[in-house]
Amino acid sequence: MEDKATILIVDDELGPRESLNMVLKSFYNICMADSGVKALEMIKGEDIDLAILDLKMPGLQGIDTLREIKKERPEIEVIILTGYGTLKTAVDGIRYGASDYLMKPFNVVEIIAVIRKILEKKRFYNEFKTFLKELGSRSGIDLPHAKRQVNWDHSLFEMIKEAMIRPSDRTEDDGSHNYIEFVKVLANTLENKDPYTHGHSSRVNYFSNLIAQKISLCAEERDYLQIGTYLHDIGKVGIDNKIILKDGKFNEQELEIARRHPEIGVELVKSMGISHQIISVIRHHHEFFDGTGHPDGLKGEEIPLLARIVSIADSFDAMTTDRPYRKAFSIEEAILELRRCAGTQFDPILVESFIEIINEKNESIQRQIQQTVSKVGVG
């Protein structure tokens, strides 16, 4: 029983609740609630792994219950159960962190398959957090505790370390090119917990690479830039989820904590002996060109070139995607903001290079944003 995941079924109708209970109780521990309010009470006292949530309920509606669950316990996975009349609302629910939705009347085979897929993804995330915790312990950082333990594989650590030290020496037929797949998985794993940043590192990688091509960076620098873009936010694994997933702007204390993620990221990876160029991206991508950024207050060309590139790409992606407290800027609005901050936040020469690229490749850039953002919460 202890190894079984715990599922919370939330539906105001007795029939659907009992039907799901009959189907799932052989595989999982089951809790049930007949309202959104009771569901929120239960998540405070029960170790819930996944909730199956009906959208149409009296009192607190399903979509509001979803938002509250994700605010209080963002690690709980949620499947929305809906009829045809609320399908659009169910799809919108993906934006608030639902993992999937199922139609009523539900198909037994489908619902079991969906639950298994989501719980496997959750298990992988927890184990990956433990993996990162082990990296952190080697650097003296106490990262958030993960529920599951994994066997620490020393050879895996050494393989990752070796693969990331000098990526430009690798070739696709020597079996070592998997380092980039590792960092992609790492970035995606971290971002999948926040629907607003899903695909963020992939887009930052894409925008950074466009700038790199425009200014003719050498192949070795582009390799380091690619890895740096996927790892630039790795330090967020050491920040409380309630801050990272906050539905609104940070207060001063939260902002101070969030601003530590570049330093935490460096501490996480430095024991792996990776290139100082990659380290510089992680540490300095929030430095400002006028010296008012963090963590070190570097100014102008004191800021490493790769970090200056990622700073622009990172901010452009933040501007052109939705956030909990505002809608996405249009590309035209983002260009105006880049120009406004050129010379203060951003390297003005790199800003103009990037704007030239945007004007040349507007359609492909728009497509890249739409394709990655449209995958939020799916799969």
- DSSP secondary structure string, 139-179? TT--PPPPSS-----HHHHHHHHHHHH-GGG--TTTT-THH
Q: Is residue 106 pLDDT above 90, yes or no? A: no
Q: pTM, whole model, 2 decimals?
A: 0.58
pLDDT value for 163: 46
Q: Write out the two tokens for 46.
A: 């029960």
Highest mean pLDDT among 4-18, 135-149, 267-281: 4-18
CB atoms within 10 A of CB 177: 13
Among 143, 138, 139, 170, smallest CA distance to 154 is for: 138
194 pLDDT band, cuts 50/70/90, is low
51 pLDDT band, cuts 50/70/90, is very high
pLDDT value for 204: 92
More confident site: 33 or 276: 33
Query: What's 6-122's CATH class?
Result: alpha beta
* Buried-state track 287-296, b at ≥16 Cβ within 10 A, e below 16: bbbeeebbee
Among 306, 326, 321, smallest CA distance to 370 is for: 321
Domain ranges of the chain: 6-122, 153-373
Helices within 73-153 (DSSP H only): 87-93, 108-138
Q: Which amino acid is at 361?
A: K
pLDDT value for 90: 65
Condensed to tens digits (0 to 9), the pLDDT of residues 174-186 reads 433 445 666 666 6
* Buried-state track 185-198, b at ≥16 Cβ within 10 A, e below 16: ebbebbbbbbbbbb
Q: Is the dihedral of CA 48, 54, 55, 58 positive or negative?
A: negative
Interval 256-264 mean pLDDT: 88
Report the distance separating Cα 7 and Cα 27, nearest Å. 10
pLDDT value for 56: 85
Q: Is the dihedral of CA 162, 164, 168, 174 positive or negative?
A: positive
pLDDT value for 148: 33
67 pLDDT band, cuts 50/70/90, is confident
Q: Write out the two tokens for 375.
A: 């995958």
Q: Is residue 116 pLDDT above 50, yes or no? A: yes
Interval 217-230 mean pLDDT: 88
SS3 245: coil
pLDDT value for 94: 74
What CATH fold (topology level) applies to the domain 153-373? Answer: Hypothetical protein af1432 (1.10.3210)
* Chain mean pLDDT for the chain: 78
Q: Is residue 141 pLDDT above 50, yes or no? A: no
The answer to whether the CB of 241 falls within 8 A of the CB of 75 is yes
Q: Write out the two tokens for 312.
A: 């622009």
CA dihedral 251, 252, 257, 262 (to 10 degrees): 110
Report the distance separating Cα 143 and Cα 130, nearest Å. 9
198 pLDDT band, cuts 50/70/90, is low
Report the distance separating Cα 350 and Cα 360, nearest Å. 15
Q: Write out the two tokens for 209.
A: 């690479």
pLDDT value for 251: 85
pLDDT value for 1: 39
150 pLDDT band, cuts 50/70/90, is very low
Do 6-122 and 153-373 have matching folds? no
Report the distance separating Cα 231 and Cα 269, nearest Å. 9
The answer to whether the CB of 106 falls within 8 A of the CB of 82 is no
157 pLDDT band, cuts 50/70/90, is very low
